[in-house]
Amino acid sequence: MIRVLFVCLGNICRSPMAEAVLRSKVEKAGLANQIEIDSAGTGDWHIGEPPHEGTADILLKQNISTDGIKARQVKEADLLHFQYVVAMDAGNLGELHEMAGINPTTSISRLMDYVSGSEIEDVPDPYFEGNFKEVYEMVDAGCEKLLEHIRKEEGI
């Protein structure tokens, strides 16, 4: 089983959006029995909460389910369990690298790293800006390229 974990700050906007989008793409590709997807936050403010209303609304418009998604905090064990740990921005990336130490056993990257030629490195946090449509477009593009990368790397 290939395991992917998306990480943002509070795990109610960007990372659950990416979880739902990639899950939808994986299901459409017929790979649901080969790829497990989850999300978590570096902070603990929203543990147990469903995705933010803005995230839920934009995903509903795209016919993408958020069923079963609840906020949780990333833990060190995640860095052993997941092969792909994908941060939404540099701040989350730094925290994950710090958590992993000097010898990470998993791939830790930013979502936009998979979008070649992108001038944008970080997926902005829509919690403060309300720019859920823009964030969705970035997440959708990033998840498409991430899935292509996984399929190539893992031979599926």
Enter the DSSP assignment of 41.
E
Choice among 13, 14, 38, 72 that is catalytic? 14
Residue 73 near residue 8, CB atoms below 8 Å? no
Q: Answer yes or no: 57 catalytic.
A: no
Q: Answer yes or no: 14 catalytic.
A: yes
Sequence-distant (6+) residues with CB within 8 A of 146 are 4, 22, 84, 86, 111, 114
Helix (H, G, I), strand (E, B) or coil at 107: strand
Choice among 8, 38, 78, 140 that is catalytic? 8
Q: Answer yes or no: 67 catalytic.
A: no
Residue 84 near residue 69, CB atoms below 8 Å? no
Sequence-distant (6+) residues with CB within 8 A of 46 are 10, 11, 12, 71
Choice among 89, 125, 140, 143 that is catalytic? 125
Secondary structure E strands in the chain: 2-8, 35-41, 84-87, 107-110
Active site positions, annotated:
8, 14, 125
